[in-house]
Amino acid sequence: MTTTSAGPHVHGLGEPYKRKEDARFIRGKGNYVDDIQLPGMLYADIVRSPYAHALIKSIDISKALQVPGVVAVITGKDLEAAGLAWMPTLSGDSEAVLAVDRVLYQMQEVAFVVAESRYAAADGAAAVEVDYEPLPVVVDPHKALAPDAPLLRPDKKDRQPTNQIYHWETGDRAATDAAFAEAEQNGVVVRQDMYVPRIHPAPIETCGCVADYNAATGKLTVWMTSQAPHAHRTLFAIVSGLPEHRIRVISPDVGGGFGNKVPIYPGYVCAVVAALKTGRPVKWIEDRTENLTSTGFARDYHIHAEIAADKEGTVKALRVYTLADHGAFDAAAQPTKFPAGLFHICTGSYDFKHAHVAVDAVHTNKAPGGIAYRCSFRVTEASYLIERMMDTLAREVGKDPAEIRLQNFIKPEAFPYRSALGWTYDSGNYERALRLAMEKIGYEELRREQAEKRARGELMGIGISSFTEIVGAGPGKHFDIAGIQMFDSCEIRVHPTGKVLARIGVQTQGQGHETTFAQIIAAELGISPDDVDVEHGDTDTAPYGLGTYASRSTPVGGAATAVAARKIRDKARKIAAYLLEVGEEDLEWEPGRFYVRGSPSKGKTIQEIAFAAYTNCPPYLEPGLEAVNYYDPPNLTYPFGSYICVVDIDRGTGEVHIRRFLAVDDCGTVINPMIVEGQIHGGLTQGLAPALYEQLAYDENGNVLGSNFQDYLIPTAMETPRWETARTVTPSPHHPIGAKGVGESPTVGAPQAIANAVVDALAHVGVRHIDIPITPWKVWAILKEKGLAT
């Protein structure tokens, strides 16, 4: 480390420091759950229902037990006898671990087979004979609410007599209705139905675990693909009755989570039961089809939205009604107090005076899960609806979509801004982001080009999305998951030689925490990130944390890390004062060093202070240099962005070609611009996906139509355009380093920019909305209807 007059250069905030974890990933030295091998380990396979709704009349496991290598077969009845047939979901519902007397969706777990090899387990699963009696299937949530719909959850009928899970509303209905009545008379009202389809996060690594129970010590160790190891351990303790300190959950390297690894799945629980039953370690790893068909899906929101505005297009009120399809069990990961997550960010970046939102959630014969996929608790759906609606309003009043946004943005001086639905946006400057995007992409020029092309019969569209996100749950008094408050944590140990071990409560599944959290400490202590190792994911060693989702790691865990590092620095100051024989107030700090004010050469480096903490500590202090912080944020952070997409449409095939896509993001203070850029590239691709390709569709019998990557289209390098990025920086006023989250922003912001561009290309022939995914077939049908197909 070289010391300059400004102190050593430590690669702190704002530096594109190369990812420390990549040293192992690019050498093939990552350590994923499926890499865990234990002596005597058994392998599992799951028998799954071919029916979407059926009674189970009988299960015969005798043939399966005769398959060579099969060691045990566990059924729902076995679990029932042990009191383990049901498990709590993250939304307070109970979900069948293995179905006992009925199945509620195709691919539901029915029996768990363990064997000496993965192949024997598969043969065993094929030999289990299940006698089903098919029942009527409901896949449409509207039909699920019909009075004659079959009741899917008779187990809940005492508290839930229909398929409706909840009705939830927020906002001021009377004031909103009054604003609409006024707009009907003297202004404009726009309305639109839209469906945000069911999609799937589809991480490259599917879900799985290895469960190992040591009967001698009574300790259960579970390596599992988990975005929330501590929360999962607590739920395991509650379900199993095992003491929590005798359960160790280790989430090793995770090959992509995207929300898919937040819920607890039956396979994890069955592997634990099988390990207890057989006395041997049990590995369960899903295949691709199991992952796509049975684990946490996302979206599936049927939305009706309305905006009331004056004749010039200044917005007055927003009214939204949504039917949320939660599938067979309500297993959505979301804060307890907000059943529709943070859907109430749907007033977006605009200054609505009034709003009212109602959501009805229903059961259908589809897999449970919900809200996963880079979404921040339903923010994706909220952002999609408001950005589509602003375009609809622009058409209605004959204004450009950019102009209508600039006219209605919350003004920079209005922050902190309280939204009509009661949320306090911490900071923002929406106009600056949109103006930067317009300037960078050459908006006016593009509009001229579009007009010329339109005159020649060519179809070109420009779409804008000026979204606002809401990330960083807690505060703990408002946010909890299954009762556990959503704070997060960091523990820092500075060793005598000045090297650092930091343990964090959040779990990384690819976002680069081992680098960025080291950079936060580097910035606070003036120690190179290379001298800071960041550990996470092992409940025996990491401080308690709520997990990584909803882009909360930087807003909450990052804040805990900065605060813990500041505690270290406070103690270091005391030690330095002792060593230098001056008062604490006589010391100045520069990165990595305290020195005596007025005599810069008289100082102590953080390394010297660390050594003294263990060798020559002031008698009035505890020896050592360690600190821990549990951070409960005072507010959420509100990152935002303005995206502009340019598309050309092929009149012969209906194909949408994305010619340009520019993303201006603002996540406050940036820790590592290279990692943020990577997050944005990946997130934009996952925003492109539902816009043009992905949908987890079902036929009327409840058969999953997207059970593999031939039918469920994820974009590859071929489909992905060259992303252009830029940024503005509006720090969070309450975060210790001013950082906001960013992981989900691009996926939240992108789909509607693309949808708006396609609708813009066809607006002159009266098209106002096309539901995503906007497939060539849908576009071609419109071209045909409008006489534009060639």
Select the binding partner of residue 635 from ligand MCN, ligand CUN, none (C-beta < 5 to 8 A, by kind). Answer: none
Least separation in angstroms between CB 230 and ligand MCN? 15
Q: Yes or no: say if 633 and 559 are a contact pair by the CB < 8 Å rule.
A: yes
Least separation in angstroms between CB 107 and ligand MCN? 23
CA distance 224 to 214: 17
Is residue 667 close enough to count as binding ligand MCN by CB under 6 A? yes
Q: What track of x and - describes contact with ligand CUN for positions 249 through 268 (by CB under 6 A)?
A: --------xxx--x------
Q: Which of residues 262-301 bind ligand CUN (CB under 6 A)?
A: 262
Q: Yes or no: say if 669 and 729 are a contact pair by the CB < 8 Å rule.
A: yes
Least separation in angstroms between CB 743 and ligand CUN? 7
One-character DSSP codes across 281-326: -EEEE--HHHHHHHS--EEEEEEEEEEEE-TT--EEEEEEEEEEE-
Closest CA to 775 of 697, 692, 651: 692
Catalytic annotation present for 597: no
Select the binding partner of residue 770 from ligand CUN, ligand MCN, none (C-beta < 5 to 8 A, by kind). Answer: none
Select the binding partner of residue 256 from ligand MCN, ligand CUN, none (C-beta < 5 to 8 A, by kind). Answer: ligand MCN
Q: What track of x and - describes contact with ligand CUN for positions 548 through 567 (by CB under 6 A)?
A: -xx-----------------
Least separation in angstroms between CB 631 and ligand CUN? 19
Is residue 291 close enough to count as binding ligand MCN by CB under 6 A? no
Single out the residue of 128, 324, 402, 739 in contact with ligand MCN (rule: CB under 6 A). Answer: 739
CA distance 634 to 309: 34
Cβ proximity to ligand MCN, 200 vs 513, nearer residue: 513
Select the binding partner of residue 668 from ligand MCN, ligand CUN, none (C-beta < 5 to 8 A, by kind). Answer: ligand MCN
Residues 6+ apart with CB under 8 A from 736: 559, 562, 563, 566
Please report which helix (H) or strand (E) contains residue 4, including its range: strand 3-4
Least separation in angstroms between CB 201 and ligand CUN? 7
Region of residue 300 (phi > 0: left; psi between -120 and 50: alpha; otherwise: beta): left
Is residue 550 close enough to count as binding ligand MCN by CB under 6 A? yes
Least separation in angstroms between CB 313 and ligand MCN? 33
3-state secondary structure of 18: coil
Closest CA to 347 of 377, 305, 303, 404: 305
Is residue 378 close enough to count as binding ligand CUN by CB under 6 A? no
Q: What track of x and - describes contact with ligand MCN for positions 220 through 259 (by CB under 6 A)?
A: ------------------------------------xxxx
Catalytic annotation present for 306: no
Catalytic annotation present for 744: yes
Single out the residue of 75, 221, 511, 728 in contact with ligand MCN (rule: CB under 6 A). Answer: 511
Least separation in angstroms between CB 522 and ligand MCN? 13
Cβ proximity to ligand CUN, 189 vs 262, nearer residue: 262
Residues in contact with ligand CUN, counted by CB under 6 A, come to a total of 13
Select the binding partner of residue 715 from ligand CUN, ligand MCN, none (C-beta < 5 to 8 A, by kind). Answer: none
Neighbours of 688 (CB within 10 A): 27
Least separation in angstroms between CB 372 and ligand CUN? 5
Closest CA to 564 of 609, 619, 518: 518
3-state secondary structure of 526: coil
CA distance 62 to 44: 17
Q: Determine phi and psi for 708, rounding to 5 degrees.
A: -155, 170
Cβ proximity to ligand CUN, 144 vs 235, nearer residue: 235
Q: Which of residues 205-234 bind ligand CUN (CB under 6 A)?
A: 227
Select the binding partner of residue 512 from ligand CUN, ligand MCN, none (C-beta < 5 to 8 A, by kind). Answer: ligand MCN
Please state whether beta strands 3-4 and 7-8 pair in parallel, antiparallel, or not at all (unpaired): antiparallel
CA distance 74 to 67: 15
Please report which helix (H) or strand (E) contains residue 500, including its range: strand 500-504
CA distance 21 to 777: 43
Q: Which of residues 343-382 bind ligand MCN (CB under 6 A)?
A: 374
Show the beta-strand stretches assigned E in 520-586. 532-535
Is residue 591 close enough to count as binding ligand MCN by CB under 6 A? no
Identity of residue 731 = P
Q: What track of x and - describes contact with ligand CUN for positions 354 through 373 (by CB under 6 A)?
A: -----------------xxx
Please state whether beta strands 282-285 and 42-48 pair in parallel, antiparallel, or not at all (unpaired): parallel
Spatial strand order of the sheet with 109-115 comes to: 70-75, 109-115, 42-48, 282-285, 208-214, 219-224, 247-250
Closest CA to 524 of 14, 19, 7, 12: 12
CA distance 412 to 39: 61
Least separation in angstroms between CB 343 and ligand CUN? 13
The residue nearest ligand CUN at its CB is: 259
Q: Which of 227, 334, 450, 752 is catalytic?
A: 227
Cβ proximity to ligand MCN, 21 vs 351, nearer residue: 21
Single out the residue of 513, 571, 593, 727 in contact with ligand MCN (rule: CB under 6 A). Answer: 513
Q: 433-460: buried (b, 16+ CB within 10 Å) or exposed (e) per residue? A: bbbbbbeebebeebeeebeeeeeeeebb
Cβ proximity to ligand MCN, 171 vs 746, nearer residue: 746
Identity of residue 525 = L
Torsion, Cα of 147, 151, 153, 158 (10° steps): 60
Residues in contact with ligand MCN, counted by CB under 6 A, come to a total of 34
Select the binding partner of residue 425 from ligand MCN, ligand CUN, none (C-beta < 5 to 8 A, by kind). Answer: none
- What's the residue count for the chain? 790
Least separation in angstroms between CB 506 and ligand MCN? 6
Cβ proximity to ligand CUN, 225 vs 376, nearer residue: 376
Residues 6+ apart with CB under 8 A from 157: 151
Region of residue 36 (phi > 0: left; psi between -120 and 50: alpha; otherwise: beta): beta
Cβ proximity to ligand MCN, 163 vs 679, nearer residue: 679
Single out the residue of 320, 671, 696, 757 in contact with ligand MCN (rule: CB under 6 A). Answer: 671
Q: Yes or no: say if 314 and 351 are a contact pair by the CB < 8 Å rule.
A: no
Select the binding partner of residue 262 from ligand MCN, ligand CUN, none (C-beta < 5 to 8 A, by kind). Answer: ligand CUN
Among the residue ranges 177-185, 384-392, 506-514, 752-760, the one whose residues contact ligand MCN (CB under 6 A): 506-514
Least separation in angstroms between CB 79 and ligand CUN? 28
Q: Which of 375, 490, 617, 667 is catalytic?
A: 375
Least separation in angstroms between CB 19 and ligand MCN? 9
CA distance 49 to 102: 10
DSSP state for residue 345 in the 8-state scheme: G
Q: Yes or no: say if 27 and 685 are a contact pair by the CB < 8 Å rule.
A: no
Q: Yes or no: say if 71 and 116 are a contact pair by the CB < 8 Å rule.
A: yes
Six token digits for residue 548: 């990584």
Is residue 374 close enough to count as binding ligand CUN by CB under 6 A? yes
Neighbours of 45 (CB within 10 A): 27
Cβ proximity to ligand MCN, 360 vs 665, nearer residue: 665
Q: What track of x and - describes contact with ligand MCN for positions 459 through 498 (by CB under 6 A)?
A: ----------------------------------------
Active site residues: 227, 374-375, 744
Given the rule CB under 6 A, which residues bind ligand MCN? 256-259, 374, 509-513, 516, 548-554, 667-672, 675-676, 679, 682, 739-744
Given the rule CB under 6 A, which residues bind ligand CUN? 227, 257-259, 262, 371-376, 549-550
